[in-house]
Structure 1
Amino acid sequence: MKDNIKIKPVIELCPSEYAKKEYDYPNGTAKEFADGWNKYWLKSLSDSGIDAVMPCILGYFFIEVSKISDRNLEIILKGQLENEKVEDICPLDGGLVIFVDDVPVVQPQCCSSLSDYQNWIDVINETSSEWKEVWIGHPMIYLRILNNKLQFSELTEDSVPKERVVNEFDFSLFQRELKRAIEEIEDFKKRVEKILERLDYNPVEKISYALINNTY
Structure 2
Amino acid sequence: MELINTIEINPYDFMDSDDPELNHLPEDGIEFWRACISHRGLGRLKPVSSGSYLVDVNTINDAELAEILKNELEDVDLMKYGEQVGRISGGVVLSLGDKIYISPNCCGDMGDLAGWEAITRTATGEWKQLWIGHPWVYYRVQGEMVEFSDYTEHERTTGLSILVTVSRSELVAELALIRLEQDQFEKRVQRVLEKMEITHSGKIAAIMMGHH
TM (norm. structure 2) is 0.90
Could you tell me which residue of structure 2 aligns to residue 107 of structure 1?
103
Specify which of 40, 44, 50 is matched with residue 48 of structure 1: 40
Quote how far apart the aligned CAs of 1:170 are.
Answer: 1.1
1:39 maps to 31
Q: Confirm whether residue 61 of structure 1 aligns to residue 53 of structure 2.
A: yes
Give how far 1:82 is off.
2.1
- Select which of 66, 71, 74 maps to 1:74: 66
Partner residue of 1:191 out of 178, 188, 200: 188
> 1:33 — aligned with what?
none
Establish whether residue 144 from structure 1 lines up as the match of residue 136 from structure 2.
Answer: no
Contact 2:14 2:40 in 1 (8 A): yes
Within the candidate set 129, 149, 159, 1:133 is matched to 129
Aligned to 2:175: 178
1:7 aligns with 2:3: yes
Q: Is the 8 A contact 1:153 1:164 kept in 2?
A: yes
Q: Confirm or deny that 1:86 pairs with 2:86.
A: no
AA partner of residue 110 (structure 2): L
> What is the SS of the residue equivalent to 1:43?
helix
Match of 1:213 in 2: 210
Q: Which amino acid in the other structure matches residue 118 of structure 1?
A: A
The residue number in structure 2 matching 1:200 is: 197
Report the Cα distance in structure 2 between the residues aligned to 1:146 and 1:96, rounded to whole angstroms.
Answer: 22
RMSD, matched Cα: 1.7
What one-letter code is carried by the residue in structure 2 that aligns with 1:169? V
Partner amino acid, structure 2, of 1:147: G
Measured after TM superposition, the shift of residue 48 of structure 1 is 2.2
Q: Which runs of 5+ in 1 are unaligned?
A: 31-36
Q: Return the alpha-carbon distance in structure 1 between the equivalents of residues 199 and 124 of structure 2.
A: 41
- The number of aligned residues is 203
Distance 2:153 2:51 in 1: 24
Deviation at 1:62, TM superposition (A): 0.9
Q: State whether residues 149 and 161 of structure 2, in contact with CA within 8 Å, keep that contact through their aligned partners in structure 1.
A: yes
Structure 2 match to 1:34: none
Comparing 147-156 with 76-85, which one deviates more in the overlay? 76-85
The DSSP-based 3-state class of the residue aligned with 2:94 is: strand
Superposed CA deviations along residues 37-88 of structure 1, whole A, max 9, x for unmatched, are 1111010001223231111112211110111011100011111112413121
TM-score normalised according to structure 1 size: 0.88
Matching of residue 163 in structure 1 with residue 160 in structure 2: yes
| Counterpart-to-counterpart distance in 2, 1:193 and 1:106 | 28
